[in-house]
Every structure is written in C-alpha cells, then in structure tokens.
Amino acid sequence: MDDAQRRLIFALDVDSFEDARGWVEKLQGQVGAFKVGKQLFTRCGPDVVRMIRDHGVDVFLDLKYHDIPNTVAMAGLEALKLGVWMFNVHALGGAEMMAKLVEQVDKVCPRGTEGRPLLIAVTILTSSTDATLQAIGIERPVAEMVPRLAKLAQQAGMDGVVASPQEVGLIRQACGRDFAIVTPGVRPADASLDDQKRVMTPGEALRYGADYLVIGRPISAAPDPAAAAAAILAEMRGALQA
C-alpha cells in the first residue's frame, strides 16, 4: 500500500452489516482505513469494527464523543479495547474533557506504544458556516474558531484534529507540522457537494497540508466505485509528488 492509499479513509455511511462488509471486501486493497460513524455503529455495534479489523484494515471510529470529562474518557478506553486506529471527540467539549481522555489512555497505553489509537478532536463540522455558529451564540467566524480549537486540542495532548480542508493552512500555522489533520469535505471537482459546505478537491487538500482524507459518496455513489477510487488516488499521488 502506497502513501496515497494510506491517507485515504473511506466513509462507511451505510445502514447494514452486509453493506459494510461488501464495501470492505471491495476496497480493502485501495484504502488505508474505513470510517465507522454513528449510523453504522448504532445499527451494528462493535461487531462491525471487529469485522473490518479481521480483514486487516484500520478503523477510524467517528462517534465524536462530547460529554463530561470522565464519561468521554471511559468511552475512549472502550474504543482503545476495540483496537481502533483512530477515534474522535468534539473539541467544543473543552480542554478538561480532552485532557482527561489523554490522561486515561496514557495510563493504559502510553504514547509511543504499538496499538495506541490516534486521539483526534473535531473542530467545526464541515456542514457549518459562520451563520451556523452565530445561531448557537458563537460570534467568532469559522476561520477563527477552527485554529483556536485546534490549538486547544494540541495543548490538551490530542494527536490531531478533524477540520475542513479550507482551514488546514490556519491549523498548520497554529499547531505546526507534527499535528495530524483529518479532512472530510473532500470532493473531486465533478462531484456533488451533498451537505458539505466548505470543500476542496483531494489534490488541493493534500497540497494545503492535510494528512488524511475522508471520502465516501464520491466513491460509493459513482457508477464504477473502483474506478472513482482509482481516480481519486491518482489525483492524490500527483499532489504528493508535486
């Protein structure tokens, strides 16, 4: 598996175990990890994570924990036991919540230990705009909130963040190079935006400094998903070699 494949995460936004397994079997040689989100995990539970791992592929558990510090920390330990490669929390849960998670994971699996998952904080959802934030009482714009939350996550000991590709440069300025950035909201130029608002093409996202790209519908909704994945990987390789 080459560098582009390792950086590509396929979003398993399906509603059944059988559909999930079908996509894993179809794409396991092309992508570095599969994202399991709320819908699939609520329907299938930990069994779907175990199935993906049994196929020898990494899992990004995308449940976006956001609760009191101890509850999030205990949920994180359960994710650790499942053997996921990466899982996330909401940075808006605050520094104490994130630091508590890091503290508890460190006790069981210290940083640098094989099998320790990447602890990632979601900044602002890619479906949100400045108007979305204002409606819930956050007066600062997205472009200010994202690097602010990324810095907060870094100070709490998190390994990286989830953010729109449009904010990758701002995060790099705030947090440096050794901080993982996972970017949904990535769409090939000819793809539908669906419910995403702040998007870039795969090549653009990598050139701006993203580490991992989460892509779902541009592959799953394509007439030929394998060809769509191959085209995305080709664009990614070109950006990485530039």
Positions marked active-site: 64
Positive or negative: CA dihedral 184, 203, 188, 141:
positive
Residues 194 and 216: their CA atoms lie apart, in Å, by 11
DSSP-assigned states of every residue in 47-98: HHHHHHHHTT-EEEEEEEE-S-HHHHHHHHHHHHHHT-SEEEEEGGG-HHHH
Residue 219 identity: I
Give yes or no for a contact between 44 and 12, defined as CB atoms under 8 angstroms apart: no
**Helix locations, the chain, DSSP H:** 3-7, 17-27, 38-44, 46-54, 69-82, 95-108, 130-135, 142-155, 168-175, 202-208, 217-220, 225-241
- Three-state secondary structure call for residue 15: coil
What single letter denotes the amino acid at residue 146?
V
Contact at 8 Å (CB) between 91 and 153? yes
